[in-house]
Chains A and B, each alone.
Chain A
Amino acid sequence: MSEAMDLPLGDPGGETTHAGTEVLMAARDVRKLFPVAREGLFGQRDYVHAVDGVSLDVRRGETLGLVGETGCGKSTLARCLSRLYELTEGTIEFDGQDITNLSRRRLRPVRREVQMIFQDPYGSLNPRRRVGSIIGDPFVIHGIDSRQDRKRQVQSLMERVGLNPEHYNRFPADFSGGQRQRIGVARALALHPKLVICDEPVSALDVSIQAQILNLLSDLQDDFGLTYVFISHDLSVVRHVSDRVAVMYLGKIMEISASEDLFTTTRHPYTRALLSALPTPDPDEADSRERIVLVGDVPSPVHPPSGCRFHPRCPKARSHCVEAVPPLEQVFDDLPSHRTACFYPLAIGEDLSQSVPQLGAGESEIVSSDGAEES
């Protein structure tokens, strides 16, 4: 994608957050398509456009939040960044090294540096293996430390993440969901990685446990100088943990900015719609505030809408949005770190719920006929 290639690599200047500006991981125009079964013998081969041209930088020491609805491609992007999936297109640089096409063997040192924490604390731990051996896996795989050292290391890790080190010989089934997620955290941190990709690490947990795991993650970030890519569909969680936030919709980044900036000067109509759906503890405020109810479902990523991905559901969409893809760029007088992919971004104070859809219902149906009708 041309608009993505134009991005400056380092994104210099304008960064006001505490995190450094040195780029640890840079993704350029990452694209991941999954083939779907073709219809009939001679039917055209279709693809799910899970990630469709994403470029972003992860800076050393920061937490980059990645939000979006279910199926918007955030988990796929995470697996592309950690090279669990082969990219269809694009490049990924880690610590100055292009890791896009590294062979398995050459990738092993990178695996030490980039770790993942998974969403499902039940599925991500092997039920037939003891916790000590699960957490010790990274040491064994990378041939680090002798057997005695390993046990000591694992136990100090367990203690560090808030587990009883005497539970070394227990099985995952003996632990609660939150404790299991701590095991997953310990495993990810075993080799002191530089980057940890957290794929919805708290989404499967009880709310009271979520806070504990989030606090643990932030403590560990301070202690080990970690960089996080933090994926979630929960905006309030992302707001709490992230320095910068990227909003994804149908495989594309809609808006990216410093965390507070995104919540105070929201530019993209989709981001605004997401924010308006956040629950508010105060019922009076909840009644009076702007509510944007998006019409229709998320279109199928097999035949994504033309132009701006969001146009079939956007209250501000005009015919231009159907024809051209809006580039991810600075709008109005925003900071250079705040980029929005929208031709008609929201001004501060603009009430989106008052916007009258510019695309007629009929027109909107025609342009999205191969997309919206699919699902």
Chain B
Amino acid sequence: MSDVPPVGVGAGVDSATPSQGPAGGPGAETSTGIEGRSPWVLAWQRLRHDRVAMISLVVICLIGLVAIIAPLFASVTGHPPNQQYRGPGALSPEGLPAHPSSAFWLGTDDLGRDILVRIAYGSRISLLVGVVATGMTVAIGVVVGLAAGYLGGIVDTVLARLVDVVLSVPFLLVAVALVSITGASLTITILVIGFFSWASVARIVRGQVLSLREREFVEAARSLGASDRRIMFVDVLPNVLAPVIVYATLLIPVVIVVQATLSFLGLGLPPPTADWGGMISESVQYYTVAWWFVFFPGAALLITTLAFNLFGDGVRDAFDPRTDRLIGQK
């Protein structure tokens, strides 16, 4: 051991630590554990005190639960999602959608199908597309942004131009054209959305990396002999993740709406499949006589996107230390 005394505040505080035990309580100040609290833990602690974000998170979890147990809705009500019912209760005598009733809790659609069950099944499509397409977007965007920002030079020039090109392509026109060539399917929906959204993630990441690249810890890694790949993914990537996560949580609701929009335009999934955009599309002819037909799928879409948006706001605030005081005042 050296005879150099430990510097600064460390010595006094640390010697007391081992006896302190695990009971830190919710107050952040009491925790002086040996384990450093990672920036993620700190962000989570801030997020936990954000009531709106936590309510939104609960709502998101509930929607996820509904998606998982959708078959349960079908078995409890006894109505499979694509089963068309005739007769009283399922369709009015004129053949119009039936009111919400004890048999059909949220009413039926124009073909006599149970709207509640179809909404439950539709949530599967929305969440699946929302999460998978966003994941794909983030994966492509992060890799492209890292490469462009860190490697620079010709790589940066080419990738930055590519980003500009992708951002200037009219999304809906190309989506319509693509779907009409390949036919509508879940895969093509995800691919189309993913392909058109990564560019903005790449831009965010590239900007961050450009400033991180000049930091001394990157230079230190290079002087240790680290490879470019290691510096990009071990040293630089963790420092850009926070804005990427914020962007991703805010991108999920956008993707869900885009998917619903594609379905509404008839570019989503082929008809018998239950999905929210498609249901709203089918309801447009009936909204004067059957409000429930458009209202419930619309409400499901609204609640889902609202919950993701509010949660995303909370995540953004949690990662931004300057919002500390605002949350404290609530």
Q: Please list the residues of chain A having a beta carbon within 8 angstroms of any beta carbon in chain B.
A: 79, 82, 84, 104, 107-108, 111-112, 114-116, 118-120, 123-131, 137-138, 141-142, 159-164, 166-171, 173-179, 182, 184, 187, 209, 212, 215-216, 219
B30-46: which residues lie under 8 A (CB-CB) from chain A?
34-39
Q: Do B2 and A175 touch (CB < 8 A)? A: no
Task: State whether A126 touches B10 (Cβ < 8 A).
Answer: no
| B76 close to chain A: CB less than 8 A | no
**Residues 1-30 of chain B, each 1 if its beta carbon lies under 8 Å from chain A, else 0:** 110111111100010010000000000000
Do A174 and B36 contact each other (CB < 8 Å), given the known contacts A162-B2, A164-B14? yes
Q: Is B254 an interface residue (CB 8 A)?
A: no
Partner of B219, one of A84, A142, A168, A209: A84
8 A Cβ contacts from B284-313 to A: none
Those 7 A-B pairs whose CB atoms lie nearest each other, nearest first: A170-B36, A111-B225, A176-B8, A178-B7, A128-B238, A123-B216, A124-B216
User: B221 in the interface, Cβ–Cβ < 8 Å?
Assistant: yes
Distance to closest chain A CB from B191 (angstroms) = 32
Q: Tally the A-B contacts, defined by beta carbons under 8 Å.
A: 119
Check if A116 sits within 8 Å of B4, measured CB to CB. no
- A179 and B216 within 8 A (CB): no
Query: In the complex, which of the residues A120, A171, A177, A178 has the most CB atoms of chain B within 10 Å of its own CB atom?
Result: A171
Determine if A169 and B238 form an interchain contact, defined as CB atoms under 8 angstroms apart. Answer: no
Task: Report the bound CA distance from A169 to B34 in whole Å.
Answer: 7
How far is it, in angstroms, between the C-alpha of A138 and the C-alpha of B14 when the chains are bound?
27
Known: A171-B39, A219-B2, A219-B4. Is A115-B34 also a contact (CB below 8 A)? no
> Do the beta carbons of B39 and A128 come within 8 Å of each other?
yes
Q: Please, how many residues of chain B have a CB less than 8 angstroms from a CB on the other chain?
A: 34
CB distance from A25 to the nearest CB of B (A): 15
Cβ contact within 8 Å between B223 and A82? yes
Known pairs A114-B223, A118-B219; list 14 more (Cβ under 8 Å): A108-B225, A115-B223, A123-B216, A126-B235, A127-B39, A130-B36, A161-B2, A167-B10, A167-B14, A167-B34, A176-B8, A179-B8, A212-B7, A216-B2
B217 within 8 A of A: yes
Cβ of A141 and Cβ of B224 under 8 Å apart? yes
Contacts of B6 in A (CB 8 A): 162-164, 179
Are A131 and B36 CB-contacts (below 8 A) given A116-B220, A175-B10, A176-B9?
yes
- Closest Cβ–Cβ distance, residue B241 to chain A (whole Å): 8
The answer to whether B217 touches A124 (Cβ under 8 A) is: yes
The one of B10, B37, B220, B225 that contacts A171, using a Cβ cutoff of 8 Å: B37
Tell me if B239 is interfacial: C-beta within 8 Å of chain A: yes
Query: Can you show 8 pairs from A to B with CB atoms below 8 A apart?
Result: A126-B235, A142-B225, A164-B10, A164-B14, A169-B34, A176-B9, A179-B8, A184-B220
**How many angstroms between the C-alpha atoms of A127 and B215 in the bound complex?**
11
CA distance A129 to B236 in the complex (A): 11
Say how far B228's CB is from chain A's closest CB, in angstroms: 9
Contacts of B14 in A (CB 8 A): 164, 166-167
